[in-house]
Amino acid sequence: MVGFMETHYTDSCAAITRRIRYITPVAVTELLNPTFRLRVAGHGGRLTLGWSFGLAGLTVPRGLPNHSSMATTDMVLEAAPPENYLAGNEFIDVDDQSIRTLALTLRQRAGSDVPFAKAAFEWVRDEVGHSYDVQDPRVTLAASEVLAQRVGLCYAKSHLLAAVLRSEGVPTGLCYQRLVHGDGHVLHGLVAIYLNGAWRRQDPRGNKDGVDAQFSLDSEQLAWHVVPSLGEIDYPKIFASPAQCVVETLRGAADVLSLYDAGLPTSL
């Protein structure tokens, strides 16, 4: 027997849908009299909470909202002087002509630094696909590659945003988080932008169902907020260049999708 049983719940954070797949009459019997056990799992790069049901051992995902009370909030960042985050390098190639053209176009439309940074963030977030979301196996690493291919993982999209902002004189560094992913953890990349005398983290990963990252100079509105009790980490350091583990992983890859479930860095 194969089928689905669906139940809707509402809590203080969000509506929860529990969709349970059962395969045998035994599993159905278990589901009629379930024993609940809280379980944590990763799915598609996002943290999920679920419940295991009796002998069926099934996990029913529940997305963790961006602003869950379980998660950490804004943090103190460790940075060098802002001017250290303006120069280009092999992966944040600020002098590439395509980067310069995009940056100048966005600057002319936006004007001052804050609206320009917001416009650049939204452009990278929305106009460059996240490799896993769009199921594109191409490997991109340098900012100019990401712009040319219009696709990349979180690390690559962060490199592009940093290059665009640096090319117009806005200090921008790279940040990392360690997040639950499958049965383990994965390293996630984002940026920090120096605006109005302070560093602000922004996440250009790209939005989807359950992910709503927004540009903000007040409270952070990131794709993910870490839950330390699950072994997740907000690394406080702001990097001027990509972490070496990210470079080594992507440089040697032929298919970025093959890395996604088992092959991406798990920590710094």
Q: What is the pLDDT of residues 132-146, one digit of tens each?
A: 999 999 999 999 999
129-130 and 151-152: which strand pairing? parallel
H/E element, 63: strand 62-63
Lookup: tokens for 264: 């991406």
Q: What is the pLDDT of residues 36-60, one digit of tens each?
A: 333 333 333 333 343 333 323 333 3
| Rounded Cα distance, 266 and 105, in Å | 37
What is the pLDDT at residue 60? Answer: 31
Q: How far is CA 65 from the centre of its chain?
A: 14
The pTM is what? Answer: 0.76
What is the pLDDT at residue 74? Answer: 67
Domains of the chain in start order, with CATH, are: 3-63 (no CATH), 82-260 (3.10.620.30)
| Rounded Cα distance, 208 and 139, in Å | 21
Q: What is the pLDDT of residues 83-100, one digit of tens each?
A: 999 999 999 999 999 999
Alpha helix (H) residue ranges in the chain: 25-32, 97-110, 113-127, 131-134, 143-149, 154-167, 244-251, 256-260
Q: What is the pLDDT of residues 178-208, one digit of tens each?
A: 999 989 999 999 999 999 999 999 999 999 9
Buried b (16+ CB within 10 A) or exposed e, 157-183: bbbbbbbbbbbbebbbbbbbbbbbbee
